[in-house]
Amino acid sequence: MNLQDAKVLIVGGSSGMGLAAAQRCLAAGAFVTVAGRSAERLEAARVTLQAPSALQVIEVDIGQEAQVVSLFDRIGSLDHIVSTAADIRGAYQLLPELELADAQRVVQSKFFGPLLLAKHGAPRLAATGSLTFTSGVAAYRPAPRGSVVAAINAALEGLVRALAVELAPLRVNVVSPGWVDTPIWSNVAGDAKDATLQAMAERLPVGRIGEPADIADAIAFLMGNPFTTGTVLHVEGGHRLV
């Protein structure tokens, strides 16, 4: 992957998988814009990444079209767009307890967000550019309390296939992570996070939970491989097999 002097936008890059992707792109010589909803997390990412000449951070809610338009007006031309954003607060509930507003937040961040990034970002991309989104293993191995997330992950993968056709020759792909040790698990499992992740690690063929760098590797492949589009790249430690 040659990212020297490439311009990359990473939405959700202030923590977890997105932050790992930003680190990888910066190390490869790219100019990176990290975007997200939390000014506090964006500032923490700026400190962590330590690349003042090659990094900018922008606060944006990609579920709001006007903010997405403003984002691209500010950035200008790009080579690659990546989104790992997902607002799943309150979404892991059994149906009787599920609040529609919580489900709608997932849709806004993980489906309409990528749709708007494609709508307004594609015209800014170089002809050899790419868009890479993140779905998840829940689309293939749903569990109780996970109906909303499973459905949105599956919908995003369908969107990616359609966009790969409509936006060609731009490449559009999606990484489907398994269970990855990121801050999002504090919202999902709370105090049971460590025990929950350990139990899954013991089930997986690879014998461990994923790390953000594992997903960053997959994102880097999809950004850099010019013959891959409309593809779901599974990076889940064999979760679909067990």
For the chain, the domains span: 7-237
Q: How many CA atoms lie within 13 A of 187 on its CB side?
A: 12
Mean pLDDT of 44-55: 94
Clarify whether 135 is annotated catalytic. Answer: yes
Q: Going by DSSP bridges, is the β-strand pair 78-83/55-59 parallel, antiparallel, or unpaired?
A: unpaired
Which residues is 125 bridged to in the sheet? 78
Q: Tell me if the domain spanning 7-237 has CATH number 3.30.1300.10.
A: no
Q: Which of 135, 147, 176, 186 is catalytic?
A: 135
- Of 139, 167, 141, the closest CA to residue 153 belongs to 139
Q: Where are the alpha helices (DSSP H) in 50-170?
A: 65-75, 100-107, 113-121, 147-166
Instruction: Give the pLDDT confidence score for residue 1 in this predicted structure.
Output: 66
Residue with the bigger pLDDT between 52 and 121: it is: 121
pLDDT in tens, 136-195: 999 999 999 999 999 999 999 999 999 999 999 999 999 999 999 987 776 676 778 889
| Strand (E) or helix (H) holding 232 | strand 232-235
CA 12 to chain centre: 6
Instruction: Give the pLDDT confidence score for residue 187 in this predicted structure.
Output: 65
**Position 196: which residue type?**
T
Q: Where are the alpha helices (DSSP H) in 169-233?
A: 184-189, 193-203, 212-224
CA 9/CA 78 separation, integer angstroms: 7
Percent of the chain residues topping a pLDDT of 70:
98
Q: Output the furthest CA–CA distance in the chain (Å, rounded).
A: 51
Task: DSSP for 166-179, please give it.
Answer: HTTTSEEEEEEE-S
At residue 36, the 3 state secondary structure works out as strand
